[in-house]
Amino acid sequence: MITRVLLFACLLPLSALAQLQVFEVTGTTETAVGALLNVGTASPGDTLVTHLRVRNIGSGPVSLSQLSISGEGFTIASAPSLPYVLSPYAGPSSEADIDIDFAPATITGSFSAFLAVNSLSIVLEGTSVESVGVTLAGSTASLAAGSVVNFGSVAVGASQTQGFLLVNSGSSSITVATVTVSGTGFSGPTGLTLPAQIPAGQSVPFQVKFTPQAGTPYQGTLTVDNRTFGLTGQGLDQPLPSASIVFASTIGASAQQNSVSITLASASQVSGNGTLVLTFQPSVAGVTDDAAIQFLSGPLRKATVSIAVGDTTATIGGMSSMPFQTGTTAGTITFTLTLPNSTPTASLTIPPAPISIDTATAVALLGSVNVAFSGFDNTYSASELAFTFYDLKGKPLSQGVIDVNATTTFQQYFSTTQYGGSFQLLAEFPVAGDTSQIGSVTAQITNSLATTTATQIPVGASPTAPVAPLFFKDAAIERR
Amino acid sequence: MRLTALIAVIGTFCALTCVSAQPTLAPPQMGFVQDSGRSVRPAYGVAGNFVLGPPIAEGVVTHAFSGSLELVKTTSSLAAFNSQGKLLASVNASAGPALFGFSPDGTMALAYLPSSNTLLEWSGSAFVPLSLDLDQLAAGSVLAIAFPSQSEASFIVERNGDIWESALPLGNAGAASEIALPGVHAPLLALPSGDLLYTNSTGIVIQRPDASQVHILASLPASLSLHQMGADWVELMDLKSFARFAIRATAGREAFYRLPESSR
C-alpha cells in the first residue's frame, strides 16, 4: 500500500507542489516534510498527534482549498476552515496549522495514509505496537499516549500523590523496561521495580508525586517505555484554611478512649498534607512517659494528615477522626498539627485522680483467701491498703480492719513497669478456719489524693481448690 | 463459744504475721488478642487502656483465651498455652479454623475442627479426641461451640437460615437435645458464662442465660469475626483491615473499645 501511494505522489506535476511547503512541528522545531512522513509508534487505544504547519513559500497568495486524508488509523484532528488563503510567508499570520491523529486499532503492524494538501501529497506512515496500558488508580480506563494527567491545585510546600497502574490486558506477558518522570515539581515513580514483567491479565501499581514550590503552573512528563503522558499541576500560594484540633471529649481522664479530628475554618481551596504528632508530658515526678498513650490506628504517635480540595475536615491516617487512648499516668497529652502554613496545637490535661479499681475478685482456698484487683493509679503514689472481711451474713469478722502499708511495694513496681499506672494486685490472707464461712471483703487503697473502696467483694469458691476440712467451721483471717 | 475460739485464733496469727504482709503486684493482663499479622499477643492494661505485648504464637488461624487457658489453631496444629504464654501442649490438626468452647471455670476446653468434623477435649494436660457422633451436625454450619459441663458439648448451628443450639452428651449418659435460638445472627460466640454474643445492625447483643439482652451501640465493620480474648472479654476482628476491637461482657460493665494495632 505504501508503494502504491508513493507512486501516485511522484506522478503529480512539480509546479503544483511549488507554492506550499509542509513542516512538522515538534515543540519549537520545524522540519520540512517530504513525500513521506513517519509519525512514529502508537499502541492500540492511543492517539499520537502530529502537528503540521503549511506555509506559502511562493510570491503570491495561495488558497488552501483541498485538505484530505485517506487511510486506516489516520484522521485530521484540526485544520482551518477551507478555503483558507495563505499569504506569502511573512510570519505566523501566513501559516495554517493542521493536527493529524494516528490512532491504530487493535491490529499490530504498519499503517499508512495519503494526506493531500492542495496538490501536495504526503504519505503518512505509522506503526502500531502492543504495549502495557496505563490507568489512574481507581479507574479502569486506559490513558491514551499523549493524554494529560492533572494533579490539580496543591498548596505550595504540600504534595499530591497520584497512583497509576500498568495494566496488561493482553494474552501474553509484557515487560516494561523504563518508567520515568520529568519536570520540575514532579517526582517518581515510586513503588515500582524495573524492569517490570507483567503477566497477562495482571497489573502493577506505582505513584507519581507533585510538590509545587511556587504558586505557578507546572508541567511534566511521564514516560512508559516509548509512550509519554503529560503531567500538569498548579501550585497555589493560597494557604490552607485555618485548622483546629478538636477532641471528641474535652474531659481529660485516664484510661479513656477518645478521638481527635481536625476541622477547617472553611472549605479548602487547595489540597495539602501534614502530620499530627502526639506527645505526652507526665506530671508525676520521675516518670518520663506512658507507652499506652498512643493512636489506636497506624503509627503509635504520628499520623499523616491530608486535606483535599473542598474538605472542611482533614483526614487523619485516612480516617475522619483518629482514636487514641489516654493511658494511666497524670500529665498533659499534646497534639501538634504541622501543615504548610500553620502549626496549631491542642492539649488534653489528665489530672491526678484517686486510684481506679477496674476489677476485684476474692477467692476462698483451703487455708487462705486471695483478694485480687486490677486498676490504675495515675499518680504512682499508692500507699495504704485496708481489708475488712465479712461473714456470710454480712457481719464484719472480729479481727477488724487489716492494714498494710504497701508504699515501698508500689514504688518498686511503678519504677520498673512499662504499663503506666496500671497494676494487678494480689493479696493472700492465710485463714485458720473454714474459708467458706467468709462471705465478702471490702478493700481500700489510698494514694496521694484519696482512698478508693471496693465494697463487699463476694468471696467465691476456687474451682481448683481442695474442699475445706469439715472440722474448720469458723474463719479467721490474717495477712501475710 | 464459737466466737470466743475464733478471736483466740485470729489474735495468735495476727501477732505472728502482720508486719511482713505485702501484696504481689504485676501488670494486669486482660487476655490474648490476634493481631492483623496473624500473631497472638498478650493484652495488658485496664478497660480503655490496652498495651499489647510480644507475640506468643504466629501463623495463627483462630484462637481463644478463657482467662487461664489460651488455645491456638495454626494451619496445621492445635496448641495450648497458659496465661503467661508458655506452651503446654501441641498436636497436629487438620487445616482450617477451629471453634473453641471453655468450661465455666476456664480450665477445660473443647476444640472443634470443622474441616475434619472432629472434636477434641483439653483435659488439662493434653488434647484428647472425643468419640462423638457429629454426623447430625453435617446438615448445618457450626457457628460456635460451648462446654457447659463435663458431660455435655453444645454446638450452635445454622441450618436453613435458622440458628439452633444442639446439646450432645459426652459419654454414655444423657440424650441429645436441640433448641431454636430465634433472633440470633451469625457471627456469634458462646461464652463459658452461658452468654451468647452476636451482632446486629446497631452493634453488639449479649444474650444472658436468662434470655435477657444487653445491647452495646457500636459501629461495626462489615465483615468480622468474634473470639474470646479473656474471662469477660471478646475480641472483634475486622476481617478487611487492621482494626481490632474489644468487647467487655462483664454484667453491668458492658462496653466496646478499640484495640491498638500491633502490626506497625
Question: B28-259, superfamily in CATH?
Answer: TolB, C-terminal domain (2.120.10.30)
Q: Does the predicted TM-score (pTM) go above 0.95?
A: no
B218 lies within 8 A of chain A by CB: no
Pick from A480, A290, A286, A442: nearest CA to A376:
A290
> What is d(CA A369, CA B13) in angstroms, rounded to the nearest whole number?
14
- Asked if B124 is an interface residue toward chain A (Cβ–Cβ < 8 A), one would say no
- C-alpha to C-alpha distances, A101 to A26, A36, A125, B61, nearest whole angstrom: 14, 16, 12, 57
Between chains, do B21 and A296 touch, taking CB under 8 Å as contact?
Answer: no
Inspect the interface and report whether the beta carbons of B44 and A432 lie closer than 8 Å: no
Count of positions (residues) in chain B: 264
Whole-complex ipTM? 0.87
Per-residue pLDDT of chain A (480 residues; tens, 9 = 90+): 444 444 444 443 333 445 889 999 988 889 999 999 999 888 877 788 899 999 888 888 888 899 999 988 999 999 998 888 888 887 776 788 999 999 887 667 889 999 999 988 999 999 888 788 899 998 888 888 888 999 998 888 889 999 999 999 877 888 999 999 999 999 999 999 999 999 988 999 999 999 998 888 999 999 998 888 999 999 988 788 999 999 999 999 999 999 999 999 999 988 888 999 999 999 999 999 999 999 999 999 999 999 998 999 999 999 999 999 999 999 999 999 999 878 999 999 999 999 999 999 999 988 889 999 999 999 999 999 999 999 999 999 988 899 999 999 999 999 999 999 999 999 999 888 888 889 999 999 999 999 999 999 999 876 543 333 322 233 344 433
Q: Which CATH number is associated with domain A356-461?
A: 2.60.40
pLDDT (tens digit, 9 = 90+) per residue, A333-382? 999 999 987 899 999 999 999 999 999 999 998 888 999 999 999 999 99
Contact A68, A156 (CB under 8 A): no
Tens of pLDDT, residue by residue over B2-23, are: 322 333 334 334 333 333 357 8
Measured between CA atoms, the residue of chain A closest to residue B105 is A463
Beta-carbon pairs below 8 A across chains A and B: 153
Report chain A residues whose CB lies below 8 A from the CB of B44.
419, 422
Domains of chain A, residue spans: 2-128, 133-236, 243-350, 356-461
Residue contact B260–A294, C-beta within 8 A: yes
- Residue identified by cell 513503588 is A191
CA A89 to chain centre: 55
B218 three-state secondary structure: coil
State residue B180's pLDDT score. 92
Kindly report the CATH number that applies to the domain delimited by A2-128: 2.60.40.10
CATH number of A243-350: 2.60.40
* B46 touches A at CB < 8 Å: yes
Residues shown for chain A: 480
Q: Backbone phi, then psi, for A141, in 5-degree steps? A: -80, 125
Residue among B3, B46, B258 minimizing CB distance to A376? B46
- One-letter amino acid at B193 equals S
Give the pLDDT confidence score for residue A192 in this predicted structure. 93
- A133-236 has which CATH code? 2.60.40.10
Please tell me if the domain spanning A2-128 has the same topology as the one spanning A243-350: yes
AA letter at A322:
M
Contact across the interface for A422 and B27, Cβ inside 8 Å = yes
Q: Is residue A317 within 8 Å of residue A227, measured between CB atoms?
A: no
